[in-house]
Amino acid sequence: MTIDVTVPVPEHRLAEFYRRVSDFYTNPETSPAATPGAGLVDGTPGWAFGPDADTTAAALVKALTDKATTLLRVLRDGALEASPRAFTPDELAAATGNPTRQSVAGILGGAGTAIKGLNLPLYRNSAGLTWHFVWHWANGLYSMTPAMARVLTHAGL
C-alpha cells in the first residue's frame, strides 16, 4: 500500500529533493517494488535531476556507439520540439539511415547494455517490468522526455 504525500520544498533545493526521493525508491531495502513509476519525475529518472546528473549523462554519452548516439539525437530533437514527438521504429530507421526497424531495436539494445554497464538505476514501468527510462518505448513508439533531452544535450549528445 502507498499513500500520496505533499511536502513543501524550497525552490532552490528541488533538484536535491527529487534526487533524494529517487534514491529512496531505488534503494532495494526501501523500494516499493510494486509501485510503477517510483523514482521517476514526470517519466524522467530521478538521477537526471541530481547533483551528479552532468557527470552521469556525460559517462552515458561517452559509452554509446556512434549509431546509438545518432538514434538518441533523433529522440532528443523530437523531445525538444514545441510539441514533443515520438517515433515509430520505421521513422527512426529512415531518419538515421539504418536499414530496418529491427536494426533500431538492436542498436538501442546496445545502448541499454551501456546503461546497465554504468549501473544506472532501473525503475518499474506500468507493466511491472524494470526499465531505465533514458528513452521510452510504449504503444509501438520511441520517445524521450524533454528533461532527459536537456540533460543529454548538456552532456554533449
Q: pLDDT tens across 114-151, in order?
A: 998 998 888 877 777 788 999 999 899 999 999 999 99
- Please, which contacts does 22-31 make with residues 24 or more away whose CB atoms are closer than 8 Å? 22/46, 22/47, 22/49, 22/50, 22/121, 25/123, 26/121, 26/122, 26/123
What's the pTM?
Answer: 0.76
Cβ contact 50:151 at 8 Å:
no
What pLDDT shows up at residue 35?
A: 47
81 Cβ contact list (under 8 Å, min separation 6): none
Q: What is the spatial distance between Cα 101 and Cα 97, in angstroms, rounded to a whole number?
A: 11
What digits encode the pLDDT tens for the residues 68-116? 999 999 999 999 999 999 999 999 999 999 888 899 999 999 999 999 8
